Structure 1
Amino acid sequence: MLNFNLHTTTEIVFGKDIEEQIGPRLKELGAHRILVHFGGSSARTSGLLDRVEKSLFTAGLAFVELGGVSPNPKVSLVRKGIALAEREGIDFVLAVGGGSVIDSAKAIAMGVATKTDPWQFASTGTKPDTTLPVGTVLTLAASGSESSNSCVLTNEETKEKRGITSETNRPRISFLDPENTYTVSKFQTGCGIVDIMMHTLERYLTPEGGESDITDRIAEGLLIAVRDAGRRAIANPRDYEARASLMWAGSVSHNDYTGCGRKRLFPVHKLEHELSAFRDEIAHGAGLSVLFPAWALYEMKNDFPRFAQLANRVFGVEMDFHHPERTAREGILTMKRFFEEIGMPTHLSQLGIKPENYAQLAANTVRTVKGPVKSYSALDEQAIIEIYKLAE
């Protein structure tokens, strides 16, 4: 187990009917003028936005709205949000939505506080050293952004998608009511299931960490719970306990708890970001469900025992101690079948990615990370193309 620091500072308020607490809690945190940031019309038509704003109004807090966040949040809207927040004297940003809304809110908050265009951080790898406080009202169990230290932005002009990781990104407070996810479509629920699992799998399947049994068992338990709750939520979208398990797992999976003592590399996320930058309509979870099994098949030769351990403990594949490669392969294929069971794509053609796109995507990926993608092996352009071929 490697040395580690665990710093999870987000207050989580979890459960039913918690919206009335939002105003009083933000007031306790020192908020006066709030930017309420959200996506499309569903936040309004569902009644959630009205309930949130009623709580703010009752608490005597001023607020202005900025909607329009789309999947793969755009830096152009972030810049509009920064200008609006500066003009209105905003001192707190409240995201009402899923990961894209939260990431956009984080970027606005850091832009206002640092007086720096957030794309400067994203494109150079530098980190903001301050931010406005951010709160979230979660409507989709997926990204874990409600308690994570990361955010991801898309530059629609350059067709680049990049992340910003900094402890200043962690929200001050997040309100998680599973009932707010009842109306999430089956496809988006499936995307969320995959994303939650990937945040733990990319911490679990890493070349550095040695023995980390307690962390492994925590990660494996989360993956089993998400798999089982995912099936239930797909079958019955109004299953409260299933939705609650997914919502809590989303936060735990990306607040670093399931990776303590292991080195985080996230190679599949880096590969996927280029897909959804190339084709904006590709949902992040859908890109991951296609690429992760292919990456695992490519890299399992570098750590058959660990891939076999995952197959046995999480997916119930009988361990072949003489040929762990067989166990590892069957575990990957079992996971791929699970993705298909919940309605997720597992082939690049389902995403509109063609073989003639491979070379450009691979080159874009290597350029973005400034060299081969760090993984069990160094993934250069040719290796990435081989992974694409395994995802055909």
Structure 2
Amino acid sequence: MQDFTFQNGTKIIFGKDQEQVVGQETVVYGKKVLLHFGGGSIKESGLYDRVVQSLQEQGVEIFELGGVKPNPRVSLVREGVTLCKENRIDLILAVGGGSVIDSAKAIAIGVNYDGDVWDFFTGNASVADCLPIGVVLTIPAAGSESSAGSVITNEEGAYKRAVGHETMRPKFAILNPVLTYTLPSYQTACGITDMMAHILERYFTNEKHVDLTDRLCEATLKTIINNAHTVLEEPTNYHARAEIMWAGTLAHNDLLNTGRIGDWGSHDIEHEISGIYDLAHGAGLAIIFPAWMKYVYKHDVNRFAQFANRVWDVEIDLNDLEKTALAGIKKTEEFFSSIGMPVTLKEANIDDEHFEEMARKGTERGPLGNFVKLQETDVYNIYQLAK
């Protein structure tokens, strides 16, 4: 086990109607807030009105910036940075899912920076501080509500890149499972895949003697798997929604990777797909993760066999661990397919036109992943496996 320091400063407020306290939580950080959101769904559902009322009751002055899209764009982030600077915003309140929260984080790190905010995502600038961020979560998926990272897409060049810093963790996050009742099935399934991928990136490690966090990862995966079809078939099942919502947060708040070094190659490989094709991140991960598994499983057959046994209840064949490992990979692929996710690039209407470009761009700052270091040729081969 690796040495580690773990601290997560995000205050989680979980349960029914908890969005009503957003004003009380916000005013702690100041009287001027940027309300950041996506499309019209929060207005149609009445959530927008409840949030605004709670803020106004606390005397908070509200500035708005909507229009966040999936795979959030740096152009809107730049607009938000300008808005915050001009109005001396005290806190950014993200009402939405991972895209809205990531966009809010990017705005927050750009406010006290004189250059272009994209510099942080290219490594040309380092995050020093971050405007406070609050969250009302509507889509359990990205775990951005208590993570230290943000992923943004630059329309110029179709680059999708990430940056992270401890100061980027939201100060508070309000999680009401009822707010997820009206999510479309596809969006729910994308979220399930995304949170599972966050756990898998941590699970496949070269670190030994990490049985506690192995078990935590496996338990969280099994909880998601056991509740996935329920939330798709019974969208208003509060208890199943609550299990999924909390699992999504735990999947990416860094508790599960204490003492271990995760991989993250699959995320980087997928970012090139959604950067060009604007595919939902969860859908892209459903395609790439099984392909990555097939490409690297021989590196540690024992770990893949353990995954198959503990997560998918595949009986271990001591005479043929490779058979057990492959059965676990197949179960993973079948599960993604069963919840309506594509598991091949063809299913997502993506051909091989940009394979070479994506492999080159993905590795231009060095090899991807930690479990197995992937060079440009390896990434290209994984795209081929995912066809």
Same fold (TM over 0.5): yes
Partner residue in 2 for 1:330: 327
Count of equivalent residues? 387
- For 2:226, the equivalent position in structure 1 comes to 228
CA offsets, 1:111-163, max 9 Å, x none? 11334422101011643111110000000000000000000010001210000
User: Normalising by the residue count of structure 1, what TM-score does the alignment of the two structures yield?
Assistant: 0.97
Moved over 4 A (4+): none
Cα RMSD of the aligned pairs, angstroms, is: 1.1
Q: Is 1:113 equivalent to 2:108 in the alignment?
A: no
1:68 aligns with 2:57: no
The residue that corresponds to 2:19 in the other structure is 19
- Report if the CA contact (8 A) 1:127-1:164 is conserved: no
| Structure 2 segments unaligned to the other structure (5+ residues) | none
**Pairs within 5 Å for 1:81-92:** 81-92=80-91
1:238-317 matches, cutoff 5 A: 238-280=236-278, 282-317=279-314
Matched residue, 2:340:
343
Could you report, residue by residue, the CA deviation over 1:323-360 in whole angstroms, capped at 9, with x for unpaired residues? Answer: 11111100010010000000000001122221232212
Q: Letter of the 1:38 partner, please give it.
A: F
Question: Residues 359-391 of structure 1: CA distance to partner in whole angstroms, max 9, x if unpaired?
Answer: 121112112xx1221333321222112212221
CA contact (8 A) 2:29 2:132 kept: no
The percentage of counterpart residues that share the same residue type is: 46
SS at match of 1:12: strand
Native 8 Å contact 2:286 2:336 kept in 1: yes
How far the C-alpha of 1:88 sits from its partner, in A, is: 1.6
Show the counterpart of 2:173.
174
SS at match of 1:343: coil
Aligned residue for 1:215? 213
Per-residue Cα deviation, 1:8-42 (whole angstroms, up to 9, x for no partner): 11000000011221101222x23210000000011
Map 1:91-240 to 2 at 5 A.
91-124=90-123, 126-207=125-206, 209-240=207-238
SS of the counterpart of 1:379? coil
Contact 2:204–2:263 (Cα < 8 Å) also in 1: no
Indicate if the aligned counterparts of 1:36 and 1:93 stay in contact, CA closer than 8 A. yes
Kindly indicate whether the alpha-carbon contact (under 8 Å) linking 1:37 and 1:65 is maintained by their aligned counterparts in 2. yes
TM-score, scaled to structure 2: 0.98
Confirm whether residue 31 of structure 1 aligns to residue 30 of structure 2: yes
SS at match of 1:175: strand
Does the aligned pair in 2 maintain the 1:125–1:164 contact within 8 Å?
no
Q: Is the 8 A contact 1:311 1:317 kept in 2?
A: yes
Partner of 1:391: 386
Residues in 2 aligned to 1:19 and 1:32: alpha-carbon distance in whole angstroms: 18
For 2:65 and 2:29, the matched residues in 1 are separated by 21
Q: Give, in whole Å, the separation in 2 of the partners of 1:151 and 1:37.
A: 15
User: Partner amino acid for 1:323?
Assistant: D
Q: Distance in 2 between matches of 1:83 and 1:353?
A: 36
CA distance in 2 between partners of 1:166 and 1:344 (Å) = 31
Amino acid in the other structure paired with 1:276: S
